[in-house]
Amino acid sequence: MTYLGYLIAPIIAIIVQIMANRHAQKVLEKTYAAQRHESLRNLKLTTFSNMNREVEIANGRLGAVEESLAHPPVQSLDNLLHDAWYTTRDFELLFPDLRKQAELLRTILKNREQRIRALMNGSTPLTENPGNAVRKILDEIATQIRADLGIIE
């Protein structure tokens, strides 16, 4: 082998090693990106599920309180909306395009709470009972999330 061969062989080995490292790094980056995507997808589904559950629970409890005003509520009305309120805020962080629906859910729940307070004080409530609107909004949100995340039923 000539001196030129002794110089070229290590250079070729270094170039091959660099190319192999870059390829391995790209494969690793793609793997991490896929894992991040799957984790974010699962986080979004979990967040929606939590919001859906808490809003449904709060709406049901408000309905139960409204139906039986003769009995004292199990919880104070101040704490009744706490979990539902904050899960809708968490929901907005992951689904900013559904912010209006989350705000609408909070508005409906707050109006329902004010209606119950008016009934408990013996006055006529200014708002109508929006109980069924909550389920309709949650169904619309679920449909849009399924479409966005590629979940087919």
10-64: pLDDT as tens digits: 888 888 888 888 988 998 899 998 898 888 888 888 888 888 778 877 777 777 7
Q: Examine the pLDDT at 119 and tell me if it is beyond 80.
A: no
**This model's pTM is above 0.85:** no
* 117 in Cβ contact with 77 (< 8 Å): yes
Domain ranges of the chain: 45-149
Q: What is the pLDDT of residue 74?
A: 45
* 134 in Cβ contact with 105 (< 8 Å): yes
